[in-house]
Structure 1
Amino acid sequence: MKASSRLKQELNLFFNALSFFSRVPVPAWVEYSATSLSHCVRYFPLVGWFIGLLSGLVIIGLMPVFGAPLAVLLSMVISCWATGAFHEDGFADCCDGFGGGYSPEQILMIMKDSRLGTYGVLGLCCMLAIKFTALLGLSQSFSAVNLLFTVFLAHTLSRFSAVLLVWRLNYIREPSEPSKAKAVAQNLAIKDVLLASVWVVVPALMIQLNALLVALVSTIVITILWARYLKLKLGGYTGDTLGAQQQLNEVGIYLSITVAANLAWL
């Protein structure tokens, strides 16, 4: 395959991932297919570059004007808008499903329901409140540059952790059942995982070594625990659980770095 054709193919895969997980406009020439979606998983963390940089720049750009609390809140609003609250929706559905269901069938049925229940509302409110409080604390203890790099890493690394779920667990919905995640849940090769990990390198090099180690440990622990819980409860993963995985790890990174900063480890 010619280099130009290969480049266009990879760009097509990246734009598939970008349009799937965000509201960012993509070129009109982008082609969509089940095959493209199944291979675009390698670019999940790269989507995190855009969302993470956008969120971080909003915080540090608006803090001098609005103050830290409002800047953090507006950054979260922009992040939700940019992704269509895709991951937050998955997290809320998981709260409803695991909170109200007992058998795998019940859990999946509740998660598939478009209506939001009590567990979903409580879980989403708590998660957003924790994220806001953690980011507010970091904005007051970190320099603007370090805060930007922390948000950049959190969005990228948390999306890479979702790639690991796709790689190691089985997709458990029936083939005939409609799902946004069905197309990206097939035939994930080790080369896709390795390429996905490359996108984490850039934000990893921009953050303090101690903070990076804390973020990595947090991500590994949360990913292992969440994967084991999903295997125990469902036998695999769904699209909603991938969204929850991203949210859990993003918040986990903010919390772990906050703890490290408060204990003077950084």
Structure 2
Amino acid sequence: MNMTKRLRQQLNLLFNAFSFFSRIPVPKSVTYSGQSLSQCVAYFPLVGWMVAAVNAAVIWLLLPILGPALAILLAMVVSCWTTGAFHEDGFADCCDGFGGGYQREQILQIMKDSRLGTYGVLGLCSMLALKFTGLLGLINGLAITEFLLLLWWAHSLSRCSAVLLIWRMSYVRETNENSKAKAVAQSIGLKELALATVWLLPPALLLSTTLLWASLLACAVVTLLWARYLKLKLGGYTGDALGAQQQLSELFIYLSALAMLNTGGLAG
């Protein structure tokens, strides 16, 4: 009975994660609380599995019909719909905040503004264009199975890197804050971090060694630099910063793989 209760609790956390980080429908019986929303980040990389699966299905179906460029572009559109553009929105808000603000309070205030500014538009357009170009280069240079494995890995690892920020850094609590991300952006323990890391093992074991280590290095560098920047500018992280972390890590995983491909580090 105790084991059954634990399984139900973990299943509830999983559905919390799907409900918060995506538009994937969950049962109406799912319960929510501050604790469950905080602990559900352990399943954040597993949400990446689902997003990657949707992307892979779109590309697999449309590639022979529309060609690589349109297949990737439409997969990106579907991916944004699946997540509600949650992470892209966080990245754009960070571009506006850090681009237009100078002092900590000013940066945080700009990031809370729901309106999108010039820096946010430029940053988001650049992010999407770089992703599209990188993925297009990869799909033309890798075997389709390796390409789809890389998608799985990138969506999982980038989300796990965001969990790492929650574990190591402090959440910046704003005055009179009413942030959607506040519930999940709380301190977590080694248990949640370990569970989040577990979801990396299946794609890591299937990916080629060269791609694995190149992407791990790229993700580690991005995470360290972004964490350092957040520490200097804000003293911690916000929900928007977590979204930016996911987007930056995903992008540089693709770019590191493309660099390896173009420099002869990978067999085409």
**Is TM > 0.5 for Structure 1 vs Structure 2?**
yes
Q: Is the counterpart of residue 207 in structure 1 residue 207 in structure 2?
A: yes
Structure 1 segments of 4 or more deviating over 6 A?
A: none
Equivalents in 2 of 1:217, 1:57: separation in Å? 28
Equivalents in 1 of 2:249, 2:57: separation in Å? 20
Could you say if the C-alpha distance between residues 228 and 80 of structure 1 is closer, same or farther in structure 2, counting changes exceeding 3 Å? same
The residue number in structure 2 matching 1:99 is: 99
Equivalents in 1 of 2:170, 2:187: separation in Å? 11
Residue deviations 1:144-171 (CA, integer Å, cap 9, x gap)? 1111100110000000000000011100
The residue number in structure 2 matching 1:249 is: 249
The residue number in structure 2 matching 1:236 is: 236
The equivalences for 1:9-20 within 5 A come to 9-20=9-20
The residue number in structure 1 matching 2:135 is: 135
CA contact (8 A) 2:170 2:187 kept: no
The residue number in structure 1 matching 2:8 is: 8
Equivalents in 1 of 2:175, 2:183: separation in Å? 10
Could you say if the C-alpha distance between residues 127 and 177 of structure 1 is closer, same or farther in structure 2, counting changes exceeding 3 Å? same
The residue number in structure 2 matching 1:158 is: 158
Q: Is the counterpart of residue 64 in structure 1 residue 64 in structure 2?
A: yes
CA contact (8 A) 2:91 2:244 kept: yes
**Amino acid in structure 2 at the alignment position of 1:131:** K
The equivalences for 1:219-234 within 5 A come to 219-234=219-234
Q: Is the counterpart of residue 179 in structure 1 residue 183 in structure 2?
A: no
CA contact (8 A) 1:57 1:148 kept: no
Which ranges in structure 2 are unaligned for 5 or more consecutive residues?
A: none
Residue 181 of structure 2 aligns to a residue whose secondary structure is coil
- How many residue pairs are counted as aligned between the two chains? 266
The residue number in structure 2 matching 1:111 is: 111
The residue number in structure 2 matching 1:75 is: 75
**Amino acid in structure 1 at the alignment position of 2:158:** S
Equivalents in 2 of 1:20, 1:104: separation in Å? 27
**Amino acid in structure 2 at the alignment position of 1:200:** L
Equivalents in 2 of 1:61, 1:216: separation in Å? 29
TM-score by length of 1: 0.98
CA contact (8 A) 2:156 2:199 kept: yes
Equivalents in 2 of 1:60, 1:136: separation in Å? 14
Which ranges in structure 1 are unaligned for 5 or more consecutive residues?
A: none
CA contact (8 A) 1:44 1:160 kept: yes
Residue 8 of structure 2 aligns to a residue whose secondary structure is helix
Q: CA RMSD in A?
A: 1.0
Residue deviations 1:170-203 (CA, integer Å, cap 9, x gap)? 0012374111121112230011101110001111
Equivalents in 2 of 1:152, 1:233: separation in Å? 32
Equivalents in 2 of 1:36, 1:135: separation in Å? 35
**Amino acid in structure 2 at the alignment position of 1:95:** C
Identity value in percent: 62
Range with greater deviation from structure 2 (205-214 or 176-185): 176-185
Residue deviations 1:79-118 (CA, integer Å, cap 9, x gap)? 0000000000000000000000000100000000000000
